[in-house]
């Protein structure tokens, strides 16, 4: 394990069976308003998933959005509404993609290697997406979907040979309302290849 001069990340080795409880990191003005906002998972059966996350674990549906080839179910704590999504925590974004009915979900995003599908991304909300992307690049991390772009190939959904989004029995255009939202967000890749979504606190 590499050595570290950061008190919040003390160098190892760590003693098995013991918690290491470092002091908190000092406040950073550049990231003070960043929030770990949501996780995205692909699901097979919305009825079953909503029963699990809502009835078993107490979340509620904040909104449902039909993007055309797939439907998004956004869940959160009972005190969360659509007006405060950008500053909330503890949200769950569920993607129901009917064209995936024959695929087994585990985790990942690569439709060229579908044994890893299931987990989608971690989502952060930030005051300024462009500034957050510049910050990520300054640390040497890859921006894989910049602001202003709404190409289907960057949406991590199944595409046919013409790069159109697959639906059951046909290819379906992604709704322009979804593309409008998608242009306002971005994705960067973490060191292990996971997607991290960067979303403005206020989506226009």
Q: What is the 3-state secondary structure (H, E, C) of the chain?
A: CCCCCCCCCCCCCCCCCCCCCCCCCCCCHHHCCCEEEEEEEEECCHHHHHHHHHHHCCCEEEEEEECCCCEEEEEECCCCCHHHHHHCCCEEEEEECHHHCCCCCCCCCCCCCHHHCCEEEEEEEECCHHHHHHHHHHCCCCEEECCCCCCHHHCCCCECCCCCEEECCEECCCCHHHHHHHCCCEEEECCCCCEEEEEECCCC
The total number of structural domains in the chain stands at 1
Q: What angle do CA 125, 128, 132 make, to 5 degrees?
A: 80
Q: Are 97 and 42 in contact (CB under 8 A)?
A: yes
pLDDT at 147: 95
- For residue 21, what pLDDT is reported? 92
In a domain, 17, yes or no: no
Q: Which residues of 145-169 are buried (b: 16+ CB within 10 A; e: fewer)?
A: beeeebebeebbbbbeeeebbbbee
Residue 182 lies in a domain: yes
Which structural domain, as residue segments, surrounds residue 152?
30-200
Q: What is the pLDDT of residue 189?
A: 85
pLDDT 10s per residue in the chain (204 long)?
445 688 899 988 888 878 899 999 888 999 999 999 999 988 888 998 899 888 877 889 999 999 999 999 999 999 999 999 988 989 999 999 998 888 877 666 666 766 667 777 888 889 999 999 999 999 888 999 999 999 888 887 877 766 677 777 677 788 898 899 999 999 988 876 778 889 999 888
In a domain, 123, yes or no: yes
Torsion angles phi and psi, residue 160, rounded to 5: -90, -175
Counting Cα atoms < 13 Å in the Cβ hemisphere of 120 gives 21
pLDDT of residue 129: 95
Identify whether 10 is part of a domain: no
Q: Does 177 reside within a domain?
A: yes
pTM of the model: 0.72
- The answer to the question of residue 142 being in a domain is yes
Task: Name residues whose C-beta falls within 8 Å of residue 46's C-beta, 6 or more positions apart in sequence.
Answer: 71, 73, 94, 96
Tell me if 90 is assigned to some domain: yes
132: CATH: 3.10.180.10
User: Which pLDDT belongs to residue 92?
Assistant: 92
Residue 14 lies in a domain: no
């Amino acid at each position: 394990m590499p050595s570290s001069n950061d008190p919040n990340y003390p160098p190892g080795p760590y003693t098995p069976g013991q918690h290491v409880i470092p002091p908190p990191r000092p406040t950073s003005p550049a990231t003070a308003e960043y929030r770990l906002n949501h996780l995205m998972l692909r699901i097979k059966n919305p009825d079953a998933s909503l029963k699990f996350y809502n009835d078993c674990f107490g979340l509620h549906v904040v909104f449902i959005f039909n993007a055309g080839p797939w439907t998004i179910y956004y869940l959160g704590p009972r005190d969360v509404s659509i007006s405060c999504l950008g500053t909330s925590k503890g949200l769950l974004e569920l993607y129901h993609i009917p064209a995936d009915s024959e695929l087994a979900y585990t985790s990942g995003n690569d439709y060229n290697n579908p044994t890893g599908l299931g987990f989608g991304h971690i989502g952060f909300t930030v005051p300024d997406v462009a500034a957050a992307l510049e910050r990520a690049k300054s640390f040497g991390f890859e921006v894989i979907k910049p602001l202003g772009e709404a190409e289907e190939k960057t949406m991590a959904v199944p595409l046919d040979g013409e790069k159109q989004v697959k639906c059951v029995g046909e290819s379906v255009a992604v709704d322009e309302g979804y593309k409008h939202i998608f242009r306002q967000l971005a994705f960067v890749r973490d060191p292990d290849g996971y997607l991290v979504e960067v979303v403005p606190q206020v989506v226009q």
